[in-house]
């Protein structure tokens, strides 16, 4: 396994991070425990979760992922071997949690954190992330920014950082990260932390894969120069880039992209065309399509960690093995040629 520095902290996190959002929905507790056992054996020391997981989020299963991680901590005593990341849910109409209103007020951040700590059976979280911004902006497949003059949000970056800073000083969280954020939001958080000597953002968790390289526009340079590295999620584009959807005879009845029809980001004709071209590159150079996609993400200089997720041990092993694959300059040039012809078909 390889390791990279988490922001400006002293923490070294594995380049492969275990994503856990299937625990409690597509994976049982026993399967989740087995995945964590194997990941740790392979040198993975970084797990990512959220208070709203499993996904898709339902009131009946909300928090199930954290509970499964918590029972694994209790059973194995491995809490001190894991750098643990979780998230507080922001305002978004699709989710039902046992608290509210969903905002980043001090009261709601504290309530969310206490719930996570209880489920996780731990007294601290290493990286606590804002799952998405409070304000209306372009995320989750929205390519453009549609300004809403009636958006009730007010600039509260300083207040949010104050609430998180208090939790850092109390020892309940060690570091702070963002998710689904854009350059302006990251800039404002960095400004306020510097102006008021508050805890500094150390990471940003955004989608990044061969079908969505929008992070490179604006955020990549910030990630490198400000040392706020990317935690890349959906590196396989909901499994599209594994190539399994293009092979006849595969049993895909349990695949997320088929089970949960509401997730349509990777279903456009442009996505399918781009995927086919990437599969042809993999075939030409004798590469596993999964390894091609994940190794590309691993190779990015702005990456801190690549969040992989799996529903089977076979998938998990295949994903983790990507750390051993290095793409040649020829392969990278052909990838960039496809990207130039079909740029970011899954925003």
Residues marked as catalytic: 53
Distance between CA atoms of 99 and 320, rounded to whole angstroms? 36
Residue pair 128/109 in contact by the 8 Å Cβ criterion: no
Q: From 29, 100, 38, select the one nearest 67 (Cα to Cα).
A: 29
Q: Is residue 236 exposed (0-12), middle (13-18) or buried (19+ Cβ within 10 Å)?
A: buried
Coil/strand/helix, residue 305: strand
Distance between CA atoms of 322 and 324, rounded to whole angstroms? 5
User: For residues 112, 117, 120 and 122, what is the CA-based torsion angle, rounded to 10 degrees?
Assistant: 160
R_g (Cα) of the chain, nearest Å: 19
Beta bridge partners of 128: 86, 176
Question: Which of the 8 DSSP states describes residue 245?
Answer: G
Question: Which of the 8 DSSP states describes residue 342?
Answer: S
Angle at 200 between CA 198 and CA 204, to 5 degrees: 145
């Amino acid at each position: 396994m390889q390791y990279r520095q988490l922001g400006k902290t002293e923490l070294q996190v594995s380049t492969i991070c275990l994503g856990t959002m299937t625990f409690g929905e597509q994976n049982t507790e026993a399967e989740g425990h087995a995945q964590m056992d194997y990941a740790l054996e392979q040198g993975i020391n970084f797990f990512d979760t959220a208070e709203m997981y499993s996904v898709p989020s339902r009131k009946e299963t909300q928090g199930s992922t954290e509970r499964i991680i918590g029972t694994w901590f209790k059973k194995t005593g491995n809490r001190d071997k894991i750098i643990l990341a979780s998230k507080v849910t922001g305002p978004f109409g699709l989710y039902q949690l046992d608290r509210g209103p969903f905002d980043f007020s001090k009261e709601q951040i504290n309530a969310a954190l206490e719930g996570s700590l209880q489920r996780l059976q731990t007294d601290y979280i290493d990286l606590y992330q804002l799952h998405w911004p409070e304000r209306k902006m372009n995320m989750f497949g929205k390519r453009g920014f549609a300004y809403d003059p009636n958006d009730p949000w007010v600039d509260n970056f300083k207040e949010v950082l104050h609430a998180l800073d208090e939790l850092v000083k109390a020892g309940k969280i060690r570091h702070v990260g963002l998710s689904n954020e854009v350059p302006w939001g990251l800039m404002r958080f960095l400004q306020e932390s510097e102006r008021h000597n508050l805890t500094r953002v150390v990471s940003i968790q955004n989608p990044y894969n061969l079908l969505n390289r929008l992070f490179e526009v604006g955020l990549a340079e910030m990630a490198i120069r400000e040392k706020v590295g990317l935690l890349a999620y959906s590196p396989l584009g909901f499994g599209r880039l594994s190539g399994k959807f293009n092979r006849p005879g595969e049993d895909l009845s349990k695949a997320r992209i088929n089970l949960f029809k509401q997730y349509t980001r990777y279903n456009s004709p442009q996505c399918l065309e781009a995927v086919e071209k990437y599969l042809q590159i993999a075939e030409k150079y004798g590469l596993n399509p999964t390894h091609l996609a994940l190794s590309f993400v691993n190779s990015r200089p702005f990456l801190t960690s690549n969040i992989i997720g799996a529903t089977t041990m076979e998938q998990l092993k295949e994903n983790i093995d990507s750390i051993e694959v290095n793409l040649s300059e020829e392969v990278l040039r052909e990838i960039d040629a496809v990207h130039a012809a079909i740029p970011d078909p899954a925003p």
